Structure 1
Amino acid sequence: MLSEWFTTALIKGIPFWLEQQTRYIYPTMDELANQINYVLVHFGIKSFIGFGVGAGANILARFSLAQPKKVDALALVNCTSNQAGWIEWAYQKMNSRSLRTRGMTQAVLDYLMWHHFGRYSEERNRDLSQMYRNYFSRNVNPTNLSLFIDAYVQRTDLGIGRDTDTIKVPVLNITGAMSPHVDDTVTLNGRLHPSKSTWMKISDCGMVLEEQPGKISEAFRLFLQGEGYVAPLSPTKIVAFRRLSDAERRRPCRHSPVIRITENPISEAVVC
């Protein structure tokens, strides 16, 4: 639900008249994080488990710091915890200016492909790579994307650390082995409390959700199970699970801080 809402708001949400307003101020990352409050109020949600990718992961991390009681857990893919460096700032500024003045150029398209897939994307999955090239070329609003890039590159540091204030909820920190954002996730992992965070690098992929959906779904399921949210699957265990109170159902049951990924999905959830 949140991912669909953010896609609409950040990529496709600005109407035509807004493109003509040169003085329009795009929301900052902190302001975008605050927008989650309106979504929660609208749907009557008291707390949630967030799943964010890239900028969405950064937004969810900011919200969890500002409203820790409204977040139960986070699964973050390629999340950045610090502000943009000089190299990133320069590349993004050139891309933003090119998008505003010339639209989706080949240079910007190549950068977007590298940003999402890392290197050698066509060698790993030519069809998926071509699909995203076509999408970026035909379906992305260049002006809107330019404004979003400017907002993201001006993001502030999360200001967290293991010895200071940090994210208080459990975090599943995921990246792909070929992703250009591996170092960013390692930095974030070093700023989270070890007992409440798990860093995971998925092999043979850069864009983990599209290239390795099976491994991600299994990791997320085990993560939820470790936090006490997954119901057992057998009929007898389901009956026993339903007899538990809500607090007992959601009790923490982490047996190990490490989530082990296998090629075959597990057949039955473990009762904690």
Structure 2
Amino acid sequence: MAELQEVQITEEKPLLPGQTPEAAKTHSVETPYGSVTFTVYGTPKPKRPAILTYHDVGLNYKSCFQPLFQFEDMQEIIQNFVRVHVDAPGMEEGAPVFPLGYQYPSLDQLADMIPCVLQYLNFSTIIGVGVGAGAYILARYALNHPDTVEGLVLINIDPNAKGWMDWAAHKLTGLTSSIPEMILGHLFSQEELSGNSELIQKYRNIITHAPNLDNIELYWNSYNNRRDLNFERGGDITLKCPVMLVVGDQAPHEDAVVECNSKLDPTQTSFLKMADSGGQPQLTQPGKLTEAFKYFLQGMG
């Protein structure tokens, strides 16, 4: 994987002239924990898994994944797969705000919604791509349904429950910081936030002015109340499929991902620490990540 560190990507390549955006179909399905919305691109390919994505807190599937999946070099990969982009409940575009007192699903319950999505679409296996809270949800799903997951790309995963010191620090931060500020601190490094690039300004604006900010806070609370995934190298609780762990160098979740790597089967796990990518490598380095994804798929056979 070392050679992947050297790929220099200066800017996101937009769709080429003549490339038409793919047709997308959005569906909603009822689950035991409420309704979930997901968007499907492409058509199912015989004997191939679907690529299923799950986004992080403060984002939806578009703001989390579009720069990656619209990247020029990604097109040759994704034309071979149908894609399912899941939006966490209340995060889809135009989502109404949940009523006061609404019991938002836990991350474990969000993972338990995925079988309903696959059943609705009649898909049997997936390659999961998740970021942050979405990476945790897909890992939990893979623990519960190992036979349906052929591979996982987990960006910024923190497999641990918050310890009481983390919890206390979180509570103290909450007294002085707004919800958007706390979520931005989860998504991006302090260096990025201080630099206030166009990307940071864009995402600060998206989150601060989100019409569904109350819903976002509910997803955020569920993330902060997550249970420990209890991964154990050589133990019973582990991911059985090939896994690519990804984190940015100096990113907020670097230590958590390094620890996660130490707990997974080294013969099944590749670890990509990306220089100069900040907290969201799929936004800042879609080219590097596309190349890594290509190698990952080749390794899966």
Deviation at 1:204, TM superposition (A): 0.8
Quick one: distance in 1 between partners of 2:274 and 2:204? 23
Q: 2:226 aligns with which of 140, 151, 155?
A: 155
Alpha-carbon deviation of 1:79? 0.5
Aligned-partner Cα distance in 1 for 2:256–2:172: 22
Q: Give SS of 1:83's match.
A: coil
Which SS does the other structure have where 1:194 is aligned?
coil
**TM-score of the aligned structures, taking structure 1 as reference length:** 0.73
1:83 equivalent in structure 2? 161
Q: How many residue pairs are counted as aligned between the two chains?
A: 218
The alpha-carbon distance between structure 1 residues 137 and 161, as it changes in their structure 2 partners (threshold 3 A), is: same
1:32 and 1:185, CA in 2 relative to 1: closer, same or farther beyond 3 A? same
Tell me, in whole angstroms, the C-alpha distance in 1 between the residues paired with 2:164 and 2:257.
18
* Aligned: 1:179 with 2:260: no
Unaligned runs of 5+ in 2: 1-39, 41-52, 55-60, 62-84
Contact 1:33 1:60 (8 Å CA) reproduced: yes
SS of 1:33's equivalent?
helix
- Cα distance between partner residues in 2 of 1:79 and 1:8: 17
Aligned identity (percent) is: 37
Which one of 199, 206, 218 corresponds to residue 291 of structure 2?
218
Q: Give yes or no for the alignment of 1:109 onto 2:187.
A: no
Counterpart in the other structure of 2:210? 139
- What does residue range 18-33 of structure 1 map to in structure 2 within 5 Å? 18-20=98-100, 22=101, 24-33=102-111
Tell me which of 132, 154, 170 is aligned to 2:242: 170
- Is the 2:159–2:228 Cα contact (8 Å) retained in structure 1? yes
3-state SS of the aligned residue for 2:89? helix
The structure with higher relative contact order (CA 8 Å, sep 6+) is: 2
Q: In the aligned structure 1, how far is the partner of 2:272 from the partner of 2:195?
A: 20
Please give the alpha-carbon distance, in whole angstroms, between the structure 1 residues aligned to 2:295 and 2:256: 24
The amino acid of 1:6's aligned partner reads V
Q: 1:182 to 1:70 in 2, by over 3 A?
A: same
The TM-score with structure 2 as length reference comes to 0.67
Post-superposition Cα deviations, 1:172-228, rounded to whole Å, max 9, x if no partner, equal: 000000211001101111110010001110001221111111101110111001111
Q: Pairwise CA RMSD of aligned residues?
A: 2.3
Greater strand content:
2
Contact 2:207 2:213 in 1 (8 A): no
Between Structure 1 and Structure 2, which shows a larger proportion of helix residues? 1
How much has 1:114 moved relative to structure 2?
2.3
1:15 pairs with 2:93: no
Does the aligned pair in 2 maintain the 1:117–1:178 contact within 8 Å? no
- The CA distance in 1 between the partners of 2:213 and 2:171, in whole Å, is 14
- Look at both structures and tell me which one has the larger radius of gyration over its CA atoms: 1
What per-residue deviation string (whole Å, max 9, x for no partner) do you get for residues 98-136 of structure 1?
A: 7xxxxxx96433332221111221566711111011111
